[in-house]
A and B are shown apart, each in its own frame.
Chain A
Amino acid sequence: MSIENTEVLLKVEGISKSFGGKRILKDVSLSLNKGDLKVLIGPSGGGKSTLLQCINLLITPDKGKIFLNNRDVSFNKKKDVLALRQQIGMIFQDFNLFDHLTALDNVSIALRKVKKMSKKDAYIRAQMELERVGLGDKLHHYPAELSGGQKQRVSIARALAMDPLLLLLDEPTSALDPELISEVLTVIRELSNSGMTMLMATHQMGFVKSLAQEILFMENGRIIEHDTPENLLNKSKVRTRTQDFCSKLL
């Protein structure tokens, strides 16, 4: 057990969150080892986005604990919160690129303003990240001049430039036209293969089956099933809730 513990990168314990008296997250726990790719699936409104945003404290949980690299993060110390967010990259469903900045500036601005890198160093790093996601020829394009898939890849480059310990991805392909999904999934697959730790809300089941270590099935603010894709989707003797849900996809 202690050997396993050294591998744990993120541990979430008993997170609860209510909005206006309505309980959206109910005592949610999970953990990620270094290099894990775990996926959150489940019906709309189940709390996946809320959970992901609680993990990097964009939403402050009402209750619970978050350990990053075994360090207990306190939710109301501003310094802790900012440090945590620097170490966790976040990818949003609708990209949230900065509309007034080129791809290069989108990726470099946090390097300059948060990591206080010089403009030159920040550009070098940003260019490297954009090349890594296949956008070396779009450095000076503004978001409005990019396709959805390209925007999402810029946002991945933007997160990676900060050298995060892990990435949270909130349905990164669900705002994309079908033919653009694969270019983004390819980037995510390469990241996973290179050892990046990721927690991702997605309903791309092909991707989930081939790559995820674990499915966390979320409904009504709880993780009600969690196991390997194989066990949840194929092997189990009783019909799982996850199977039920997935049979209705597409």
Chain B
Amino acid sequence: MTYPFEVVISSLPYVLGGAMVTIGIVVGAMALGLFIGIPLALIQVYGNRLIKYVADVYVWFFRGVPVLVLLFLFYFGLFSLIDLNITAFWAAVLVLGLRGGAYQSQIFRGSILSIPDGQLKAAEALGMTNWQGIVYIILPQAIRIALPGWSNEYSIVLKDSAIAFVLGTSEIMSRTHFVASRTYEQLPMYICAGCIYFVLTWIGVFFLRRFENKLKIPGYST
């Protein structure tokens, strides 16, 4: 008979390999979410009615449907319908990223709206185009203001990535599940998985917090 502890130790390298996959999914999804979220937020604040409506529909959809349903819908439904042959890993990145875009857009929309609109007016009064004002004046401030919310979004996406295991992605959760069901050491294995998520969450939040402090505007309190 082996001690439960030994199973955890001996499977740790394997499970931690899954952590690399998890990190890959999260980094990919957060990046895609940023790439979609900022333009969506700009459209929601500055866009004309038609394009605003399209953005709203996007956000409604991804905020309104459970992530598990989204994964199945895209991976087993939509992707095969359009003959998109991608791995479970990329499917997870894509789905979490598309959904993250909807949530991130709300974070950035809020931070854009919190900047006094006189600053954009001042930029235009100096001869900047509307676009220059947004890029050089509004966004640098909006991104700073969005960082705490963005870090929160990171912690949510990280934990939601566990659900990618249903597609067979070999990340933390699916590797843990694999070992646990083989060895019947369910409790220690899931404690171990929980600890890894816990540590990854707070490491990420810690570094985002440092980044936030580094970008902090002197004398400016928020």
Mostly, the B contact residues are helix
* Contact call B128/A96, Cβ cutoff below 8 A: no
Stretch at the interface among B11-19, B39-47, B134-142, B168-176: B134-142
- Complex CA gap A83/B126 in Å reads 10
* Contact call A85/B220, Cβ cutoff below 8 A: no
A67 within 8 Å of B (CB atoms):
no
B183 within 8 Å of A (CB atoms):
no
B64 within 8 Å of A (CB atoms):
no
- Among residues of A, the one whose C-beta sits closest to the C-beta of B221 is A144
Q: Which of B113-149 contact A (CB under 8 A)?
A: 115-116, 118-119, 121-129, 132, 136-137, 140-141, 144
The total of chain A residues at the interface (CB under 8 A) is 30
* Contact call B129/A82, Cβ cutoff below 8 A: yes
Q: Which of B116, B126, B128, B217 contacts A144 (CB 8 A)?
A: B217
The total of chain B residues at the interface (CB under 8 A) is 24
Q: Which of A77-125 contact B (CB under 8 A)?
A: 78, 82-83, 85-86, 88-90, 92, 94, 96-100, 109-110, 113-114
Q: List the interface of chain A (C-beta within 8 A of B).
A: 56, 58, 78, 82-83, 85-86, 88-90, 92, 94, 96-100, 109-110, 113-114, 141-145, 155, 158-159, 162
* Contact call B219/A58, Cβ cutoff below 8 A: no
* Contact call B219/A145, Cβ cutoff below 8 A: yes
- Complex CA gap A83/B127 in Å reads 7
Given the known interface contacts A96-B118, A96-B119, the answer about A142 and B125 at a Cβ–Cβ threshold of 8 Å is no
Shortest Cβ distance from residue B203 to the other chain A in the assembled complex, whole angstroms: 28
The 5 lowest CB-CB distance pairs between A and B, nearest first, are A144-B219, A86-B127, A96-B122, A110-B126, A96-B118
